[in-house]
Amino acid sequence: MDRKIHFYTITILITLIATTNNTWNKINAQDSSPTTPTTAPSKTPTPPPTTHTTNSITQPEAAQPEPLTQANLSVLTGNIQRPNGLFWFEDKLYTSCTGDWTIYEIDVTNRSTVQYIFGVRNAHSLYVERDTGTNEVNLWIPDFQTNTVAHIDRSGLEVAASNLDGPWGITPGDQSHFFVTNLLSNNVISISKDGETREILTNLRSPTGVATDAEFTYIANTGSARRAIEWFNTQELLQSNEPANTDDSHTSHTLVTGLQNTTSITVASDGYLYFAYALGTRGVVGRVNPTVCRENGGCTHDQAELVIYTELATPLAGLTIAPDMRLFLHSSFSPDIYWVQLNP
């Protein structure tokens, strides 16, 4: 009996030693590679790398110019209390001031600022054109606070459309109609210059900026990074009898994904779509080639080229670009309007 107990004791000891050795071997194998300590994050974020897409490949980061920074921006004017929304037209900037309900006209050559008209309370965007019949300057402005679109000409201000739901962005659909985003009802409506309204897009995600080129309409969804910027065929929007449901999963309308709090967007004379969005608490401006993004089924945020990395608090509520590629922008929380010359 004692021999049998002794035999079992020896067997158990051998098993324990083998198990212990295997365990240490696994631990040593896991720890054989040197560990790298994690550094504390910088309090001042640096711009992310930028890329640029073509129809077939993504260009390497080294091939792209460094983004502009706050140091490259020049102050155009700072004597408007709370500018909101910008539009360039014939060497003048037009902006709405939410502090005194006044539209201002800024001469970009001599930097003089004049009060244009009073009566628009809270505008995030404007559209300015010269009437082909009268040759007069006309302004079309969504007023977020009064849920109207104001039409301003030589005779004064009149309401072109009412009973909207948080109108934000505006762009021409054709010579007779405007597309206006309704932030609060997640849709886009078509407004004729005679005041007729019609819903053309539904189920967006807090739409803000809207822009058009020769064929397509671009919508910024500030409420969804996954649907940051979407595209639609302009003629289909104008001709359809029913509004298009943007939640339709059978058709992809993705242009850019992964952008945070996209607000102002505009198509510049170089053919690129420029847009203001947020990196953390900072407002930045990026751009994409919309043709490339459409053909590739959409671009991701890291395929967008970072153009300007500012020190301004987000959101950048004003963004407009002159035909000679002078870019103008401002933050919602500052009276300063900045500008910079982009490469033509």
Domain range annotation of the chain = 53-341
* Residue 321, phi then psi, degrees to nearest 5: -135, 125
Q: Which residues contact 74 (CB under 8 A, 6 or more apart)?
A: 338, 339, 340
Residue 27: is its pLDDT beyond 50? no
Q: Which CA distances in Å does 335 have to 85, 97, 105, 240, 297?
A: 12, 9, 15, 42, 39
Residue 304: is its pLDDT beyond 90? yes
Residue 271: is its pLDDT beyond 90? yes
Average of per-residue pLDDT across 242-249 = 89
Q: Which CA distances in Å does 230 have to 49, 200, 219, 275, 278?
A: 23, 14, 5, 12, 17
For all residues of the chain together, what is the average pLDDT?
Answer: 85
Average of per-residue pLDDT across 262-279 = 97
β 102-107/113-118 pair status: antiparallel
Residue 8: is its pLDDT beyond 70? no
Cα 296–Cα 317–Cα 174 angle in degrees, nearest 5: 60
* Residue 75, phi then psi, degrees to nearest 5: -80, 125
Superfamily of domain 53-341: TolB, C-terminal domain (2.120.10.30)
- The closest alpha carbon to 91, from 105, 75, 78, belongs to 105
Residue 19: is its pLDDT beyond 50? no
pLDDT tens profile 93-106: 999 999 999 999 99
Residue 70: helix, strand or coil by DSSP? helix
Residue 290: helix, strand or coil by DSSP? helix
Residue 62: is its pLDDT beyond 90? no
Residue 4: is its pLDDT beyond 60? no
| From 11-15, 234-238, 250-254, 256-260, the region with the lowest mean pLDDT | 11-15
What does the block give as tokens for 33? 């590679």
Extract long-range pairs of 236-241: CB within 8 Å, 24+ residues apart: 237/173, 237/179, 237/188, 237/190, 237/200, 237/201, 238/173, 238/174, 238/177, 238/190, 238/200, 240/200
* pLDDT (0 to 100) of residue 251: 77
| 76 vs 31, higher pLDDT | 76
* pLDDT (0 to 100) of residue 11: 44
Residue 46: helix, strand or coil by DSSP? coil
Residue 233: is its pLDDT beyond 90? yes
Q: How many residues in the chain? A: 344
Average of per-residue pLDDT across 146-155 = 96
Q: Which CA distances in Å does 63 have to 72, 224, 296, 305?
A: 21, 30, 21, 11
* pLDDT (0 to 100) of residue 66: 92
Residue 42: is its pLDDT beyond 70? no
User: How far is residue 111's CA from residue 95's CA, in Å, rounded to a whole number?
Assistant: 14
Residue 20: is its pLDDT beyond 90? no
Q: How confident is the model at residue 64 (pLDDT cuts 50, 70, 90)?
A: low
**What one-character-per-residue DSSP string does 163-224 give?**
S-SSEEEEEESSSSEEEEEETTTTEEEEEETTS-EEEEEES-SSEEEEEE-SSEEEEEETT-
Q: How confident is the model at residue 276 (pLDDT cuts 50, 70, 90)?
A: very high
Average of per-residue pLDDT across 184-201 = 97
What does the block give as tokens for 233? 């065929």
* pLDDT (0 to 100) of residue 146: 98
**pTM (two decimals):** 0.81
- Yes or no: say if 92 and 108 are a contact pair by the CB < 8 Å rule: yes
**What one-character-per-residue DSSP string does 95-115 give?**
EEETTTTEEEEEETTT--EEE
